[in-house]
Chain A
């Protein structure tokens, strides 16, 4: 069964069309990455799937059900998003407990206290953090809270928008390990947006390289590891990651 399916999707912001003709099929349990430089439209695709960028045409299905253009409660229970900046994505005046309980309250799920406790354990946070405010937590701890909040409704699919790029290397390692473990334990499907190819290599099964709102190449991660991506632009990205500049490739 496919977890996320996009058929010929175009996405616009007002008059400008930023994403053109995207076709993607992500299987359930798969971890898929969208890579590309800023402005290539990779985050926009996530936002459209999550219902945050409603101006699109084509067809988007989540777990085989066609998606409407807005935010839907039924979809929210199956699909959640984690944002890039843990400093901006948590409400500064709500305790961690309130932030984690809110999705449960909205969706009328009971037994909230226990669920919050269990989730804090699952993301590796001590119970003493439960009644603290975001500003009392470090960046890595906050990103754990953001991941915990996304997982509160036990979704099947997680959209991850640069989940580690605001974090230090050592903290990034912790969060990547956490994401890998959660996926194994809960059988999650990941759609990850990043510009960091080593992260893709660690966490994903397949990747799509994007440029100027189009998918340039879809490849298996094994090819990335061997440096055997086919398209010239993908090679350019790979070279840049290793700190080389390919001659004559400036756009």
Chain B
């Protein structure tokens, strides 16, 4: 965001305590109807994000992805999203029409999905797909679009961007596909990037590379990042602040460096349940779900 595009005037301070966070969410609830009545999957969570890296961790079913999706209003009916406040840079997201949302999605807030295999269009070349995001939101001559595409592919560390831009998604590997997706999401230079399990479909050896790229781009462009993952270790390495979610509520919020001193039994249980490289324990502690059932 540092270079180009309409400059919104907000102080570049951390979300917490900062005067104007990039995104602030208050009492967010997401529910779905079932034959036993509406079930809330996100039960009133509040948080704010500035130009920082926020991690949301939790196990499957904790509502972390639903939180990410509801920010972009990607939850379709009959799902229902309510909140006391959901503001992005002074815009009330809740009252935006679908058409207005379209000018925000991609251009100002974008989202990297989990699996490049299912999220890229199989009948469009990589270059066309990356360019599409740019062409939708800005008017640029074709040559400049191409140059931006190549530059973007280069910045996600793809060698020979001109060749790769002409390839179809099935011709690139998983790690490369995910980098293409990141390129696609970052080319309109959004202010906030939501990455939902961006590396879960990738090999460990490629994971670190992809996250480094995201991290690098987020820091140099001064964007906000919401990293959603089930991997506590990964989130604590790449984020400044962490929210731990369990069954729709935030059970713990802490600075990434202080995860070791987490106090909630759920967080502690998760940390203990992970085997380590130098594993000496004969048995792994198992989460005792009754400990926080009352909360």
Query: Hey, which bits of chain A sit against chain B, CB under 8 A?
Result: 37-38, 139, 168-174, 176-177, 180, 195-199, 201-202, 224-227, 236-245, 250
Contacts and interface: CB of A to CB of B under 8 A. Distances in A.
Given A198-B275, A241-B277, A170 B237 contact: no
Q: From A38, A170, A195, A245, name the one whose CB has the most chain B CB atoms within 10 angstroms.
A: A170
Nearest to B57: A169
A143 B283 CA distance: 19
B286 A37 contact: no
Interface residue SS majority, chain A:
helix
Contacts of A199: 275
Given A169-B59, A170-B269, A173-B286, A241 B209 contact: no
B230 A168 contact: yes
Nearest to A199: B275
Contacts of A225: 277-279
B204 A240 contact: yes
A240 B211 CA distance: 11
B161 interface: no
Contacts, number: 88
A199 B237 CA distance: 20
B234 interface: yes
B91 interface: no
B285 A173 contact: yes
A170 B233 contact: no
A161 to B, nearest CB: 16
Contacts of A197: 204, 277
Interface in B191-240: 203-209, 211-212, 230, 232-234, 237
Contacts of B79: none
A236 B205 contact: yes
B284 A173 contact: yes
B65 to A, nearest CB: 14
Contact of B59 (A168, A177, A180, A245): A168
A170 B270 contact: yes
A168 B278 CA distance: 21
Given A173-B273, A173-B285, A176-B284, A201 B207 contact: no
